[in-house]
Amino acid sequence: MKKVAIITGASSGFGFLSTIELAKEQFQVIATMRDLSKKERLLTVLTQLGLQESVKFQSLDVTSEQSLQEFTTFLPTLGQIDVLVNNAGFALGGFAEEVSIHEYKKQFDTNFFGLIAVTQAVLPFMRKQRVGKIINISSISGHIGFPGLSPYVSSKFALEGYSESLRLEVKPFGIEVALIEPGSYKTNIWSSGKQIAKNSLDPHSPYRPMMIKIEDQLELGQNQYGDPQEVAELVKNIACKKPGETKLRYPIGKGVRVGLLLKKLLPWKLWERVVMKKLT
């Protein structure tokens, strides 16, 4: 019997590419997306590769109770669940003073609470099987607090803490939890998936000068963004690891390991000076 992998947010980016990689590795993939009309692009690629039978599409908006309920009802039809890739997410930018609580909550609803809800739906199956892998797509933003990005950063910091606790809780049941921590990659998250808090778009915002500097830095860095295929291959590699061989953290991307090391080693004062020099 084929192993079964579920992916959230399969309509684009890492989720899209990971679906293809896992299908190539003989997984039966459940590609979930909140808008099933977006499945055509993925289906076309899968058909070209002769992999269309290896992927089933399932509607799932991780923030919708009704959608989560339908997903929960669908799960027993799978027989087994070997891998869950919690990938769905978006990035909300804005300055902490100006981001409304409602906007913070929306960010957390998708990147954090949505992920928890999907995990809770899947865990009983993995626990009964006494085997399973949960791969959570975190970010370098789960370790480093970039200015102008506190909603996203705090949602990913929360995910890091949650995943550490979860890993220790489910290990006795043979379930492994891993975090992938990418740097910047060329996906929709920095275009259609990126949102800015309403008040931070106001040209009279006191944070406007910093916003302009941040945008300049992002613009400069864009040609350095990685190929998302790298992350999809990492998802596949982790999914294919033998039980007991999965680490907790997988940082990936240009400059990510160096960034994490510097943040760990440098005194905060020095770190802060480097960041502020670029932004003020």
Ligand X SMILES: NC(=O)c1ccc[n+]([C@@H]2O[C@H](COP(=O)([O-])OP(=O)(O)OC[C@H]3O[C@@H](n4cnc5c(N)ncnc54)[C@H](OP(=O)(O)O)[C@@H]3O)[C@@H](O)[C@H]2O)c1
Place of tokens 């890993």: 167
Cα separation, 118 vs 63, in Å, equals 10
Distance, in Å, from the CA atom of 101 to the CA atom of 115, rounded to the nearest integer, reads 20
How many Å apart are CA 128 and CA 116, to the nearest integer?
Answer: 19
Query: Minimum CB separation from ligand X for residue 148, in Å?
Result: 15
- Residue placing its CB nearer to ligand X in the complex, 140 or 175: 140
Residue 250 binds ligand X (CB under 6 A): no
Footprint (CB under 6 A) of ligand X, residues 171-230: 182, 184-185, 187-189, 193
Instruction: Check if 207 is active-site.
Output: no
Catalytic residue among 104, 152, 162, 185: 152
Residue 150 near ligand X by CB under 6 A? no
Could you say whether residue 251 binds ligand X (CB under 6 A)? no
Give 13 or 151: the residue with its C-beta nearer to ligand X. 13
Cα 242 from Cα 238, distance rounded (Å): 9
**Long-range Cβ contacts of 227-234 (<8 Å, 24+ apart):** 227/185, 227/186, 228/13, 228/14, 228/17, 228/185, 228/186, 228/187, 229/17, 230/185, 231/14, 231/17, 231/18, 231/137, 231/180, 231/182, 231/185, 232/14, 232/17, 232/18, 232/20, 232/21, 233/21, 234/180
Give the one residue of 139, 150, 163, 246 binding ligand X; rule: CB under 6 A.
Answer: 139
Is residue 137 within the footprint of ligand X (CB under 6 A)? yes
Q: Which stretch binds ligand X (CB under 6 A): 8-16, 48-56, 166-174, 260-268?
A: 8-16
Residue choice 4, 62, 68, 211 for contact with ligand X (CB under 6 A): 62
**Minimum Å distance from CB 93 to ligand X?**
12
The residues binding ligand X (CB under 6 A) are 8-9, 11-15, 33-35, 38, 60-63, 87-90, 110, 114, 137, 139, 182, 184-185, 187-189, 193
**Catalytic positions, written as ranges:** 152
